[in-house]
C-alpha cells in the first residue's frame, strides 16, 4: 500500500541493518508502515531480549500504542536495510477518515496480532501444565526415595 502517497502527513525513515526504530518504554507518538525490509520486535523479560516476532514488507507496527495511547511495549530493530513510513498520532484519525482501506488494513493487522497472542497464551498454558506435571513427579520420586531411606534405616 503506498501510504506515503495516500496520507499527506507522513515521514519516511531509512534504516540500516541493526538500526533501532523505537525502544520499549518510549512514548508512542507514531505508527509505522514497513515499505521495504524486515524488522525484529523484541521485549526485555528477566534481563533477556525475547523475540516476539518479525515484520515483513507491507505490515504495520506501533499502531496499538498510538491508537490506544501509552508507551512502546517492545523494541523494533531493522534486521535488513529497511524503509518505514511514519504517521503521527494526531494525523491517524484524519488519514483513517479519508482512506477507509487504511482502517481495514490496520484492523487486519490487529486481528492477526490478537490471534498470535491467543496462540501464545495456549502455549504458555501447556508449559504451565507440563511444569505442574513435572513438579508432581518430582514430589512423588522424592517421597519414594525418602520411604526407601527410612526402610533401610
Q: Which residue has the cell 520411604?
A: 147
Mean pLDDT of the chain: 87
Residue 13 lies in a domain: yes
Quote the crossing angle between the two packed helices 89-98 and 100-152, to the nearest 10°.
Answer: 120
Residue 144 lies in a domain: no
Contacts of 79 (CB under 8 A, 6+ apart): 17, 37, 38, 39, 40, 54
Q: Structural domain tally of the chain?
A: 1
Category of 136 on φ-ψ map: left (φ > 0), alpha (ψ -120 to 50) or beta: alpha
The range of the structural domain enclosing residue 96 comes to: 3-118
Residue 147 lies in a domain: no
Residue 123 lies in a domain: no
Burial 116-137 (b: 16+ CB within 10 A, else e): eeeeeeeeeeeeeeeeeeeeee
Question: HSE on the CB side for 56, CA within 13 Å?
Answer: 0
Residue 142 lies in a domain: no
pLDDT tens-place string over residues 53-76: 899 998 889 888 778 888 999 999
Residue 29 lies in a domain: yes
Residue 132 lies in a domain: no
CATH number at residue 98: 2.60.120.10
Residue 93 lies in a domain: yes
Each residue's pLDDT, cut to its tens digit, for the chain (153 residues) gives 455 555 665 789 999 999 999 999 999 888 898 999 999 999 999 999 999 889 999 888 988 877 888 899 999 999 999 999 998 877 777 777 887 887 887 888 888 888 988 998 999 999 999 999 999 999 999 999 998 888 887
Amino acid at each position: 500500500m503506498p501510504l506515503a502517497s495516500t496520507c499527506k502527513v507522513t515521514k519516511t525513515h531509512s534504516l540500516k541493518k541493526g538500526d533501532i526504530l523505537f525502544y520499549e518504554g518510549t512514548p508512542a507518538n507514531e505508527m509505522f508502515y514497513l515499505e521495504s525490509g524486515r524488522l525484529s520486535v523484541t521485549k526485555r523479560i528477566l534481563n533477556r531480549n525475547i523475540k516476539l516476532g518479525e515484520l515483513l514488507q507491507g505490515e504495520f507496527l506501533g499502531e496499538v500504542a498510538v491508537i490506544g495511547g501509552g508507551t512502546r511495549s517492545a523494541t523494533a530493530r531493522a534486521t535488513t536495510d529497511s524503509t518505514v513510513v511514519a504517521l503521527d498520532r494526531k494525523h491517524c484519525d484524519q488519514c483513517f477518515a479519508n482512506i477507509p482501506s487504511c482502517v481495514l488494513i490496520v484492523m487486519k493487522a490487529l486481528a492477526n496480532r490478537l490471534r498470535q497472542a491467543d496462540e501464545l497464551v495456549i502455549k504458555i498454558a501447556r508449559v504451565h501444565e507440563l511444569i505442574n506435571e513435572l513438579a508432581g513427579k518430582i514430589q512423588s520420586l522424592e517421597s519414594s526415595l525418602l520411604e526407601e531411606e527410612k526402610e533401610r534405616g
